[in-house]
Amino acid sequence: MADGNRSQAVAVPPARAAVVLVLTVRPGPPDPVRELLSDAAGIVRAVGFRAPGEALSCVAGIGADLWDRLYALGRPPGLHRFRKVSGDRHTAVSTPGDLAFHVRAHRMDLCFEVARRLTERLSGLADVVDEVHGFRYFDERDLLGFVDGTESPTGAEAVDTVRVTGGDPVFDGGSYLVVQKYVHDLGAWEALPVEEQERVIGRRKLSDIEIPDSEKAPDSHVALNTITDDDGNELRIVRENMPFGSVGEGVFGTYFIGYASDPAVIERMLHNMFVGDPPGNHDRILDFSTAVTGSLFFVPPAGLLQDPPPAPGRGGEP
């Protein structure tokens, strides 16, 4: 393979702008989509070379159904359709998604150009079912006004958190990606006193300092998303959430973008948020924010996209 098990640009420093595209692929032969995935890195290089220093990158993720159509390889072990999570009050919905492109840069024009060039190649083959143009809001805040991303791992720790290792070597260097579009009830949120908002999140609003465990509400977002394995080691994910919205339409949201080496970690966090830990103790952020999409993707190592395994029915498995 041209690039061995080099990972795609998953663990990169926060960008100022992002476009996320989720597409469904129409029935038909797999070749044009395989070719586009193989050429995507070249498209990003062609756009990014003209704007050095703007940190342009693009991650491509593949959903479970499309995987079976593209590659005679068997699915990566954690890849399945996003599983709906239903609690007594709130639901993490599952919505279609065959392909995801997470394009990041410090400038929106670069993200837009890559998104345009990618979709141009998919014209007639795939439909964009969700498109979000995300922006950085002040000092890394979400539209709820809180700093978002503080405890997300960075640098080498981020690479370790997202990189698949130890299974079938063909998937080594890959990652799993979950995206969900959350729409906030900003009126209800802003009607809460700041101290109550801080209780919901589990951190101070202005300073971003975490509320001590002894005072933190058990249904706060931070309490329910701090999880450990049986040996007490913290289980982490890399988050690249982006604010998005439309003032005219009154839409204010957070696009949740989570990467992990094992999607079960994200799934456990979602269980804690929506079902609750213990059940019934759901995340209070959900009383102000509704998940309207949800999809899971495998992010193959770069080499697998560039030099793909055989397509089904052509010398590979059926």
The Cα-based distances of 167 to 76, 189, 222, 301 in angstroms read 9, 44, 31, 14
- Using CB under 6 A as the binding rule, whether residue 148 contacts ligand HEM is answered as yes
SS3 122: coil
Contacts of ligand HEM in 264-283 (CB under 6 A): 266, 269-270
Q: Does residue 148 carry a catalytic annotation?
A: yes
Quote the least distance from Cβ 116 to ligand HEM, whole Å. 28
Instruction: Provide the 3-class DSSP secondary structure of residue 198.
Output: helix
User: Is the CB of 33 or the CB of 242 nearer to ligand HEM?
Assistant: 242
225 binds ligand HEM (CB under 6 A): yes
**Least separation, in Å, of the C-beta of 217 and ligand HEM?**
14
Query: Please, is 248 exposed, middle or buried when counting C-beta atoms within 10 Å of its C-beta (0-12, 13-18, 19+)?
Result: exposed
Task: Examine residue 221 and tell whether it contacts ligand HEM (CB under 6 A).
Answer: yes
- Is 150 a binding residue for ligand HEM by CB under 6 A? The answer is yes
Residue 113 vs 142, nearer CB to ligand HEM: 142
Count of residues touching ligand HEM (by CB under 6 A): 27
DSSP symbol at 275 = T
Per-state percent for the chain, helix, strand, coil, to nearest 5: 30, 25, 45
Binders of ligand HEM in range 84-143 (CB under 6 A): 142
**Is there a contact between 99 and 126 (Cβ–Cβ < 8 Å)?**
yes
- Cis omega before residue 278 (within 30°)? yes
Active site residues: 148
**Residues near ligand HEM (CB under 6 A):** 142, 144, 146-152, 180, 182, 201, 203, 221-222, 225-226, 237, 239, 254, 256, 258, 266, 269-270, 285, 289
